[in-house]
Structure 1
């Protein structure tokens, strides 16, 4: 449903007992998943099945260090690569501890996607960018997912600052829910990340969620495409 709706890339969450960066919707999804006995091997099986159906759609695993490192960084990196994973976001392993997972992912050909936040200052940014690849994920609010969105002006300023320091794409997430919000972010960033709103739809509709999710993603994708078309026209003018 995500790909059919027009999603350019997929972020697949790995459930964890203490998802400290996630808001109520994703926390509840973690609890439901763990209650069903979901383990890392199950997530990798989902990734493998997705890759078989969608060989060209980028797939990113998002999670926390404990599940990723439980069987060792080498095992995780090799298993993720075998499953067709393109990138990994590890929320709670900071750049200063890159050796815990970074070298293994890079050796397996997997991008390590770093996070920048409103509190990432000029002194720390080079450390965040060192070894980052794939894209830089800008967390637009200082807080947890899904609850609020930053002011557009602050997003514009932050993305401009980040783009001045790196050549990799910059994607913006946290608090983006509506097509209008997605379009506004798309005017300044390379990517728009939406998570909690999708998880809420799945929770609401259960096994019948595919069509509501597809329709929602289409509304976002259409808004983003229109915003980028407007930018191209402005540049052409």
Structure 2
């Protein structure tokens, strides 16, 4: 069992899990460590760091725009890793990016370079389950977990397959489509989430479209916590660190 899995299982015993997402470097790489510290201070269990990419197929308009801001700031995965190598995060970090970014860096080199950092997980939304052998063997001697996404179209047998050897947490996607705010949820979503929780031995977090404390409370009733991205990304861009900290505190308390 990976270190991230143990950590989240322990945290699950004392409360609901809250994992915010931010786009690394959208507001300048010199602000990244301040953003991480702010999120941790206000209740983040772990933090997803987005890796900017030119064709982010799973991202909605807010995160797409943040990725473009990061690219305009000349942010690369290499530069993100360099920042993290010189920073001790208060909570585990999870890199969320597209396979091309990891492949271009060199997966073996990336895993080696991250060994001295607090990165404990990867989320690669465009890496199909059937192609995980491109990544998993390289993680065998690493504490980095490859997290699984389960979509609304996953039937029970598929869910069992996805979660049987999953590490970290299971990312339960709550909508068909991309990330963002103001999404409509289908009527049987709670039953779908409950089924995933029933089948998984590790924490299950709901994400995509979660953007207010009421939704956080709702999903925390049926699973182990939530991932919130677009709302936080938008707040960091428009309102800055202090107000975003207040927003995160409202989500977590």
TM interval, shorter chain, is: 0.7 to 0.9
2:243 paired residue number: 212
> Once the 2 structures are TM-superposed, how far is the Cα of residue 7 of structure 1 from its aligned partner?
1.3
Q: Does 1:7 align with 2:44?
A: yes
Contact map agreement 2:181 2:211 (CA 8 A) in 1: no
User: CA separation in 2, counterparts of 1:53 and 1:95?
Assistant: 29
Contact map agreement 1:140 1:150 (CA 8 A) in 2: no
Structure 1 unmatched ranges of 5 or more: 223-237
> Once the 2 structures are TM-superposed, how far is the Cα of residue 155 of structure 1 from its aligned partner?
3.0
- Structure 1 residues 76 and 130, CA gap change in structure 2 (3 angstroms): farther
Structure with higher Rg: it is 1
Contact map agreement 1:111 1:134 (CA 8 A) in 2: yes
106, 119, 129: which one aligns with 2:153? 119
Name the SS of the counterpart of 2:157 in structure 1.
coil
Contact map agreement 1:141 1:148 (CA 8 A) in 2: no
Please show how residues 31-46 of structure 1 align to structure 2 within 5 Å: 31-46=68-83
Q: Deviations over 1:30-73 (max 9, x none)?
A: 111011111111221343345x142xx12111111001111322
Q: Give the TM-score normalised by the residue count of structure 1.
A: 0.85
Q: Does 1:96 align with 2:130?
A: yes
Contact map agreement 1:152 1:185 (CA 8 A) in 2: no
Please show how residues 131-210 of structure 1 align to structure 2 within 5 Å: 131-151=165-185, 154-205=188-239, 209-210=240-241
Q: Does 1:23 align with 2:60?
A: yes
User: CA separation in 2, counterparts of 1:79 and 1:151?
Assistant: 40
User: CA separation in 2, counterparts of 1:79 and 1:42?
Assistant: 11
> Once the 2 structures are TM-superposed, how far is the Cα of residue 131 of structure 1 from its aligned partner?
3.5
Q: Deviations over 1:199-226 (max 9, x none)?
A: 1112213xxx11011000000001xxxx
Name the SS of the counterpart of 1:193 in structure 2.
strand
Shifted more, 104-113 versus 41-50: the winner is 41-50
Q: Give the TM-score normalised by the residue count of structure 2.
A: 0.80
Contact map agreement 1:11 1:61 (CA 8 A) in 2: yes
Runs of 4+ in structure 1 off by over 4 angstroms are: none
2:94 paired residue number: 60
- Report the aligned-residue RMSD: 1.7
Structure 2 unmatched ranges of 5 or more: 1-37
1:128 paired residue number: 162
User: CA separation in 2, counterparts of 1:46 and 1:119?
Assistant: 38
